[in-house]
Amino acid sequence: MKSPYVIQSSHAARALANLDRDSAHEKYPDGVYVLHPQYRTSQPIKADVLFVHGLLGAAFKTWRQQDRDEPLGESSTQHDDYTDCWPKAWLAADCPGLRVISVEYDTQLSEWKSKCPEDSNRKSMAYRSDELLQKLKAAGVGERPIIWLSHSMGGLLVKKILLIASKDQDMQDIVKNTQGVAFYSVPHFGSRLAEYSVNARLFLFPSVEVKELSKDSPALKELNNEFLQFAKTKDIKIINFAETLPTRIGSMMKLHVVPVESADIGIGDLIPVEVNHLNICKPKNKDSIIYRQTLQFIIDRTFTGKK
């Protein structure tokens, strides 16, 4: 628990939370990590903030502070305030009344390797969404207000999770308590990643995940239409962040992974940011527009009762 490395301390926190007999109703399954509070506290928890990463992401590295460009020879000791996980380091300090949870699941770009025939089904959006929903329910999600923060493909999973929950009587608390969703460059109408699959050796056999992100996919359009109707009916507030810079893919290609028009779900504020796809969810510091807008969105939905 005292390790300076966020992965080690978070694994320890999950293990200890699961051993706590006094909180038997909240168990953290594999891939669900509580970032705050990591120790038992008497302070009441007012809301849950859930972080869901995207393609090739992870529970911690996706949400680290943006890497800094240091001039050659500059001492790294000047950057002791750098954080490997801003939800744990910044959000927990600015909003201590939150329970901050980050989830993790495996993804890949290519089906190049041999695999079990069942893998394709387990990697589909529908399967993953239902699996994450069950895990979050086991962790006690739904007992208090919820804010979802999602990057890239993670936002599609969040939409699917909420739609699945809306059709399940046992999951109505999750639907009722969802106050808002923040999308960081989520490809609501597909990504250019899939259409470039034939141009790079890595994408010779695109994975299930990449195929499901195809630009102008009818399935994605149907998912978005259904979610828009759901969000409007339930009065769920939305904020969208969009990248405006291309991302380097491998050594040969630069690609605007999620164009602004695909990152615009159709409701809520749209905030274009001059960063690439990887950095749209990695604020440089607390003064970054990404962090300031995210923090205000959470505060408005959970502490002020603003609608």
Instruction: Encode pLDDT of 95-129 as tens digits.
Output: 989 999 999 987 655 444 545 554 555 567 888 89
**Confidence bin at 73 (pLDDT 50/70/90):** very low
For 16, the 3-state DSSP assignment is helix
What's the distance, CA 70 to chain centroid?
28
How far apart are the C-alpha atoms of 29 and 130, rounded to whole Å?
Answer: 14
SS3 category, 86 = helix
pTM of the model: 0.87
pLDDT, the chain, mean:
84
Query: Which range has highest mean pLDDT (60-69, 111-120, 149-158)?
Result: 149-158
Tell me which architecture the domain covering 6-66+81-302 has in CATH: 3-Layer(aba) Sandwich (3.40)
Please give the Cα distance from 105 to 123 (Å, whole number). Answer: 10
pLDDT category, 261, cuts 50, 70, 90? very high
The domain ranges of the chain are 6-66+81-302
- Is the pLDDT at 290 greater than 90? The verdict is yes
CA distance 147 to 151: 14
Q: Which residue has the higher pLDDT, 62 or 19?
A: 62
